[in-house]
């Protein structure tokens, strides 16, 4: 009888302990859920205009998910973003280029969020559909100034592109010009959208924009016979692209971390990256 009583007491004790554990587990879940809903504050980001077509839908979707957070995203060019995040005037500096040596001691932390392909575009009256890499170099350095010299009609070439603060310009300088200087005889615009508008309204104009900005108002040109497609980038056939970076000064925390994590999440990447003209990093062949 004593043995039975002890056994019953032992079973009751174990059951009590299990009950306490289950209650604690449920309470822990509620706490985690509360943490997610309690994320609040303002996130400020500036820099790359190439990245804006991706971050605008990210901003909208994130604010619906986290109603206590306000996200403000502005352009200005990659180096503007890098300078502002390094100075602490914004939370995130968006850039088409990796932070160079002058930023190495600024405590910047890199978050690669997508791949941005760039496309050369021309006014719709231009008859040329494709240029070689060398022809692009010759046009952008001012060596070739008439479309007839690259198989087109007798028409002046007007180069439209970005200021020196632009990551798009830095990408083209590195990938296409390979260090050769741009001609000064060019029309400079402050954003991808402005470049597209200027080219669309200027006969004989040519320039480059992020792939997300290409539309029917301009003509997309092939590069060495290869038209831009996401698969062409992934398979290494189309070389004109850049990794997109979101830099923070130190490790991201709070609402800033939550926003970057959301942009990098499969939830966002699968639904928005390709749709908005970018290539998911996970698709790239290392």
Q: Residue 16 in 3-state DSSP?
A: helix
Q: Long-range pairs for 103-106 at CB < 8 Å and ≥24 separation? A: 106/249
pLDDT at 36: 55
Q: Counting Cβ atoms within 10 Å, is residue 19 exposed (0-12), middle (13-18) or buried (19+)?
A: exposed
CA angle 70, 75, 280 (to 5 degrees): 80
pLDDT at 83: 96
- Asked if residue 134 and residue 219 are part of one domain, the reply reads yes
For residues 111 and 193, the answer to whether their CB atoms sit within 8 Å is no
157 belongs to a structural domain: yes
Beta bridge partners of 161: 188
- Asked if residue 169 and residue 249 are part of one domain, the reply reads no
27 belongs to a structural domain: no
Distance CA 128, CA 199 (A): 15
- Asked if residue 155 and residue 103 are part of one domain, the reply reads no
Chain centroid to CA 197: 21
- Asked if residue 108 and residue 121 are part of one domain, the reply reads no
- Asked if residue 107 and residue 59 are part of one domain, the reply reads yes
26 belongs to a structural domain: no
Segments of the chain with pLDDT less than 50: 1-34
pLDDT at 273: 92
Provide Rg for the chain, Cα atoms: 26
- Asked if residue 83 and residue 55 are part of one domain, the reply reads yes
- Asked if residue 167 and residue 122 are part of one domain, the reply reads yes
123 belongs to a structural domain: yes
Domain harbouring 176, CATH code: 3.40.190.10
Q: What is the DSSP letter of 150?
A: G
Give the structural domain span for 89. Answer: 41-114+243-283
Answering whether pTM is above 0.75, one says yes
154 belongs to a structural domain: yes
pLDDT at 179: 84
20-55 pLDDT per residue, tens = 343 344 444 443 333 556 899 999 999 999 899 999
The total of structural domains in the chain comes to 2
46 belongs to a structural domain: yes
């Amino acid at each position: 009888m004593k043995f039975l009583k002890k056994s019953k007491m032992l079973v009751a004790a174990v059951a009590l302990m299990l009950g306490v554990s289950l209650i604690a587990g449920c309470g822990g879940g509620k706490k985690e859920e509360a943490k997610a809903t309690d994320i609040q504050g303002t996130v400020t980001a500036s820099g790359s205009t190439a990245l804006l077509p991706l971050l605008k839908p990210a901003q909208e979707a994130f604010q619906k998910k986290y109603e206590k957070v306000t996200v403000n995203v502005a352009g200005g060019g990659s180096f503007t973003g890098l300078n502002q995040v390094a100075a602490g005037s914004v939370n995130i500096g968006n850039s088409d280029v990796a932070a160079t040596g002058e930023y190495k001691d600024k405590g910047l932390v890199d978050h690669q969020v997508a791949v941005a392909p760039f496309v050369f575009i021309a006014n719709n009256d231009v008859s040329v559909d494709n240029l070689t890499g060398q022809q692009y170099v010759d046009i952008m350095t001012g060596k070739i100034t008439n479309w007839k010299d690259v198989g087109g009609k007798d028409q002046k070439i007007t180069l439209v592109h970005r200021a020196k603060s632009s990551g798009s310009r830095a990408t083209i300088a590195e990938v296409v010009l390979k260090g050769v200087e741009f001609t000064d005889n060019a029309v400079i615009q402050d954003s991808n959208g402005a470049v597209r508008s200027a080219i669309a309204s200027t006969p004989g104009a040519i320039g480059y924009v992020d792939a997300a900005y290409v539309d029917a108002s301009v003509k997309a040109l092939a590069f060495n016979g290869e038209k831009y497609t996401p698969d062409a980038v992934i398979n290494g056939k189309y070389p004109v692209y850049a990794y997109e970076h979101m830099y923070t000064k130190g490790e991201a925390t709070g609402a800033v971390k939550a926003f970057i994590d959301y942009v990098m999440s499969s939830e966002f990447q699968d639904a928005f990256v390709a749709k908005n003209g970018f290539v998911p990093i996970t698709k790239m062949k290392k």
